[in-house]
Amino acid sequence: MWTWFHKFASPPHAYRLLGNLAPWFGWPALALILLAAWWGLVKAPADYQQGDAFRILYVHAPSAWMSMFIYVAMAVAAGVGLIWRIKLAHAAAAASAPIGASFTFLALATGSIWGKPMWGTWWVWDARLTSELILLFLYLGYMALRSSFDDPQRADRASAVLAIVGVINVPIIHYSVEWWTTLHQPASVTKLDKPSIAIEMLIPLFIMIVGFQLYYGWAVSRRLRGEILRRERNATWLKEGI
Amino acid sequence: MQRTAISSAAGLVFRRDLTLAWRRWDEVAQPLIFYVVVTTLFPLATTPDLSQLREISGGVVWVAALLASLLALESLFRSDVEDGTMEQWVLSGQPLGWLLLAKVASHWVLTGLPLVIMSPVVGTALGLPFSAWGTLVLSLLLGTATLSVLGGIGAALTVGVRRGSVLLSLLVLPLAMPLLIFGSRAVGMVMDGDSPAGPLQLLAAIFFLTLSLGPLAMSAAIRISVES
């Protein structure tokens, strides 16, 4: 197992493998996202209460899910990099952060657009929106710390510690924000709580989540290849191979 | 070679930092002055009406205390890393987490504790009733202590970085938001006549979690900063 691991973690092999993998993520992602978009926007029935406005859910919920998934994936990659000193894992964490931050921003933007017809305002200090906002701050802090070091190895290891500290804090932040809103607000703003979502609305949502996951796989392979090129720019295998 | 016990090594670090700070006490006073100045901004910016200020007094005191302790944290490890003391600590064979925790503890005594002692005065100026004093002090005791450890992790990560203070705030403030929520909520609850036990216990839980895991993260961060 360890020889396989080290072989995979060697930059030339990883570079080639990621190049081969990317289309296997990219095309299914495109197909599934298009299918889910058609299913969710056209075929699924309109909500009896929110009408067609609920359809933004098909972008909002998967982005929110991805924003948390990528943070955890990033922290796991950072932990692997820190413990076994695998540079490729650090590079994967570095490649994931901007994608995760983009999904977080997308979740916030769609949540705010959804809030306008539902709540009458662009922004409500709702628990989910607020903890998503704090997650965006965590991503931005991680990227700011990474970019403030000149030495890439130090940037890798310092930001890895931050990612691990952050991932321990994410559940604390999530629950504290949830309790904060339940303590402050009357329960009248819970219009968005889906009592029980109909199955024909749920299927496109699941397809969209799988599509987003595959998109992440595609995007991270592409970015990781770029990251490897940047880090290995002086290596001999690059000069010989390409 | 005789090895010093962990407790006496940590005690020495603690006493050394207190002595150093005592000789430069004007630097220690700065965060406290900043704290009072920031709380003065809120009545100027909103309203001088005490009955309206009372509504936000707990939150204002908490935000000002967070910002003031962050201001003080930036220089926590800097001089020790620059003059090589930290390198000697890393090499000393003592558990680095304990030494750093002693350093953070002395830092808290010098910056966190004065803020806590000052807070009833500042709170009263904002219309905070006498009945909320105890809760405010207790919540700030737990909150500033937790923040010192969290900020210690941030300071250890950013110790060699240009413009470290802005970066430090960017890293630590999101992590400190649960403290702010529970701390100001505890004060708010006692002013509404409820028992603040729930938020205070949550603050205590976060404090002990941070106290147990924080030194590990701090020493890992310091090793990264010193070794490379």
ipTM: 0.88
- Whether A16 maps to a domain, the answer reads no
Partner-chain contact B225 A158, CB within 8 Å:
yes
- Chain A nearest C-alpha distance from B228 (Å): 7
Q: pLDDT for A126-154, tens place per residue?
A: 777 888 999 999 999 999 999 998 888 88
Given CB atoms, is A162 within the 8 Å cutoff of chain B? yes
CB pairs under 8 A between A and B: 73
Q: Inform me whether the pLDDT recorded for B105 exceeds 90.
A: yes
pLDDT (0 to 100) of residue A187: 40
Confidence bin at B44 (pLDDT 50/70/90):
very high
* Cβ-contact B157, A158 below 8 angstroms: yes
Given CB atoms, is B158 within the 8 Å cutoff of chain A? yes
Partner-chain contact B185 A145, CB within 8 Å:
no
**Of A137 and B79, more confident:** A137
What residue has token string 């080639």?
A: A16
- Chain A nearest C-alpha distance from B82 (Å): 17
- Per-residue tokens: B139: 């919540």
* Cβ-contact A148, B162 below 8 angstroms: yes
- Whether A13 maps to a domain, the answer reads no
- Whether A6 maps to a domain, the answer reads no
Closest CA in chain B for residue A172: B178
- Chain B nearest C-alpha distance from A75 (Å): 14
Chain A residues with CB-CB distance to B224 below 8 A:
154, 157-158, 161
- Per-residue tokens: A71: 């943070």
**Of A4 and B64, more confident:** B64
Partner-chain contact B181 A148, CB within 8 Å:
no
Partner-chain contact A161 B177, CB within 8 Å:
no
Residues 6+ apart with CB under 8 A from A110: A56, A59, A60, A63
pLDDT (0 to 100) of residue A188: 40
- Per-residue tokens: A98: 């901007």
Taking all residues of chain A, what is their mean pLDDT, rounded to a whole number?
Answer: 85
What percent of chain A clears pLDDT 90, i.e. is strictly above it? 41
- Per-residue tokens: A201: 């609305």
Length of chain B: 228
- Whether A50 maps to a domain, the answer reads no
- Whether A53 maps to a domain, the answer reads no
Q: pLDDT for B9-39, tens place per residue?
A: 888 889 998 898 888 888 788 889 999 999 9
Given CB atoms, is A140 within the 8 Å cutoff of chain B? yes
Given CB atoms, is A138 within the 8 Å cutoff of chain B? yes
Mean pLDDT of A91-108: 94
pLDDT (0 to 100) of residue A185: 47
* Cβ-contact B128, B54 below 8 angstroms: yes
Q: pLDDT for A14-28, tens place per residue?
A: 888 888 888 999 999
SS3 at position B87: helix
Closest CA in chain B for residue A157: B224
- Whether A190 maps to a domain, the answer reads no
Note down the domain range covering A177: 58-184+198-227
Given CB atoms, is B221 within the 8 Å cutoff of chain A? yes
pLDDT (0 to 100) of residue A190: 44
Q: Inform me whether the pLDDT recorded for A226 exceeds 50.
A: yes
| pTM score of the predicted model | 0.89
Query: Which residues on neighbouring strands pair with residue A51, listed in sequence order?
Result: A47
- Chain B nearest C-alpha distance from A184 (Å): 9
pLDDT (0 to 100) of residue A144: 93
Partner-chain contact A172 B206, CB within 8 Å:
yes
Partner-chain contact A176 B162, CB within 8 Å:
no
What's the domain count of chain A?
Answer: 1
Rounded Cα–Cα distance for residues B197 and B13 (Å): 35
B162-172 burial: b if 16+ Cβ within 10 Å, else e: eebeebbbbbb
* Cβ-contact B145, B207 below 8 angstroms: yes
Closest CA in chain A for residue B184: A180
Length of chain A: 242
Rounded Cα–Cα distance for residues B89 and B100 (Å): 9
Closest CA to A118 of A203, A47, A200: A47
Q: Within chain B, how many helices (H) and strands (E) appear?
A: 10, 0
Given CB atoms, is B197 within the 8 Å cutoff of chain A? no
Given CB atoms, is B13 within the 8 Å cutoff of chain A? no
Q: pLDDT for A163-200, tens place per residue?
A: 999 998 888 888 888 777 766 544 444 444 544 567 77
- Chain A nearest C-alpha distance from B171 (Å): 5
- Per-residue tokens: B127: 């219309």
Shortest CB distance from A134 goes to which of B174, B206, B217? B174
Q: Inform me whether the pLDDT recorded for A207 exceeds 60.
A: yes
- Per-residue tokens: B193: 């006549």
Partner-chain contact B174 A144, CB within 8 Å:
no
Q: Which 8-state DSSP code applies to residue B108?
A: I
* C-beta atoms surrounding A98 within 10 Å: 14
Q: Which 8-state DSSP code applies to residue A47?
A: B
Partner-chain contact B181 A177, CB within 8 Å:
yes
Q: Which 8-state DSSP code applies to residue B192?
A: T
Name which of A25-29, B187-191, B209-213 the model is least confident about. B187-191
Which residues 28-87 of A have a C-beta within 8 angstroms of B?
A: 82
* Cβ-contact B59, B69 below 8 angstroms: no
pLDDT (0 to 100) of residue B79: 86
Chain B residues with CB-CB distance to A125 below 8 A:
none
Which residues 176-215 of A have a C-beta within 8 angstroms of B?
A: 176-177, 179-180, 183
pLDDT (0 to 100) of residue A242: 59
- Whether A99 maps to a domain, the answer reads yes
